[in-house]
Structure 1
Amino acid sequence: MTRAGRLSVGIVGAGHVGPVIGAALAGAGHALVGVTAGSDPDRTAAVLPGVAVMEPPELVRAAQLVVIAVPHDQLPGLVSGLAELGAWQPGQLVLHTDPAYGTDVLEPAVRSGAIPLAVHPAISFTGTTLDLRQLQASYAAVTAPAMVLPIAQALAVELGCEPVVIEEADRPAYAEAIATASEFARSIVGQATGILRGIGVENPGGYLSALVSSTFDRALREASSPDPLSPPDLG
């Protein structure tokens, strides 16, 4: 049974993010009512064992908290489509995980009385239970109307994250920062491993692992200090 104050949760989106968010919320004591179908049902079942697979309208009508974790370009159409079907419920919490959108994208659900929340955990999801440990050491961008902002912050904490408030108007800039960091890291590592592979180094990713991790850790520490970045000591 669900503990007092806990929510019934439906997960719309069974990619790398949705099932992990569901598992984290279940670990915090919330009750999962279902998840929508995805392209990798075995992976979803491994992260959310025993959780029912449901159609989106049915799932939305059954949940007090709906978590939407779908690709960026699908989010507006999904929200408005469910509104046209009359799926959104008054007083229902609707949370999406997209970094670029605030809560304006949830307006079709709000018109039906739903409460909009935007929470983006700043990690690179693998879609496995390994992500649950990453969440415990991460931050999450939260955006919500002032009256319900504490709810968004509390849910971020239950995921294991430290919440950081991002204003609605600042979500595009926030998303740009996230994309820049992610794409830069992948690009640089890809170039370096390609060079090492070209000169015959076996397992170039493993070879660079400690160097890359320690260099990024140092850069992040220095970025948090008032002193300018200095070149890493590779000697």
Structure 2
Amino acid sequence: MPAERTGRLGVGTVGAGRVGPVLASALAGAGHALTGITAVSDASRERADAMLPGVPVLTVPEVVERSELVLLAVPDDELEALVAGLAETGAWQPGQLVAHTSARYGTAVLEPALRRGAIPLAIHPAITFTGTSVDRTRLAGAWFGVTAPAPVLPIAQALVVEMGGEPLVVAEADRPAYAEAIETATSFSTAIVEQATGLLAGIGVEEPGRVIAPLVRSAVENALARWAPSTIDLSALAEPFAEEDE
């Protein structure tokens, strides 16, 4: 496999939660062809239809069969079994790119696909998602945690750039620490905001979120200034990081 690829890919997405349709839309905007997406619940089908009009809703095996790049945007606790199950049925194809969006895992979780000849990539967008077109704007300049074997790392980096993001290379062994950093930033900031707005609401303050917004933003800016004074997207801290759902 060459270090860099050119041309358009057929991209299939497994998972129509908050993340999958957004990344698929971004890849389509970069010129790639969308082969299909999986969607189980009514909400996920509505989301897929809204974000990816005209893209067929398929089964998981159909998405894998039709795609040169398979994007796995599923909850962490479903990823390992999904990859292994598809390997057992012989679904993975030699030379096929397989990318997951989990913060927790690197490429080891994709080992069953690798043994079938697929090319493993871990591409995690370090922002929170609403599952709407607003997220497309948030992708611009967002950082993506990228893990991949050295020969194909440029492919993962190129895909991130095509989606408007900035690739941050994370070693396989460092993936748990990376995931902990993401979870800490989102869960603690969310908890603090909810506690503060709750206290203000309790004393009769209307729209407490608007009242504390300037305070929270300035406090976060001050805390981040010593690390990256001009490159942090504070909108990414506005709501908790959510795993994909079906």
User: TM-score scaled by structure 2?
Assistant: 0.88
Q: Which amino acid aligns with 2:159?
A: L
1:74 pairs with 2:72 = no
Q: Distance between the aligned counterparts of 1:133 and 1:215, measured in 2?
A: 24
User: TM-score scaled by structure 1?
Assistant: 0.92
Higher relative contact order (CA 8 A, sep 6+): 2
1:101-151 CA distance string (max 9 Å, x none): 000000111111000000111000111110011110211110000000000
Structure 2 counterparts to residues 136-215 of structure 1, below 5 A: 136-215=140-219
Superposed structure 1 runs of 4+ greater than 4 Å apart? none
In percent, how many aligned pairs have the same letter? 62
Counterpart for residue 83 of structure 1: 87
Contact 1:15 1:38 in 2 (8 A): no
Q: Distance between the aligned counterparts of 1:186 and 1:152, measured in 2?
A: 30
Contact 1:20 1:132 in 2 (8 A): yes
RMSD (CA atoms): 1.1
- Structure 1 residue 217: deviation in Å? 2.4
Listed as ranges, the gaps of 5+ residues in structure 1 are 226-235
- Structure 1 residue 154: deviation in Å? 0.4
Q: How many residues in Structure 1 have an aligned counterpart in Structure 2?
A: 222
Contact 2:27 2:163 in 1 (8 A): yes
Counterpart for residue 29 of structure 2: 27
Q: Distance between the aligned counterparts of 1:142 and 1:185, measured in 2?
A: 24
Which of the two has higher C-alpha Rg? 1
Q: Distance between the aligned counterparts of 1:214 and 1:177, measured in 2?
A: 21
Q: Which amino acid aligns with 1:217?
A: E
1:173-229 CA distance string (max 9 Å, x none): 00000000000110000000000000001111122222222322232223337xxxx
Contact 2:16 2:47 in 1 (8 A): no
Q: Which amino acid aligns with 1:8?
A: G
Listed as ranges, the gaps of 5+ residues in structure 2 are 1-5, 230-246
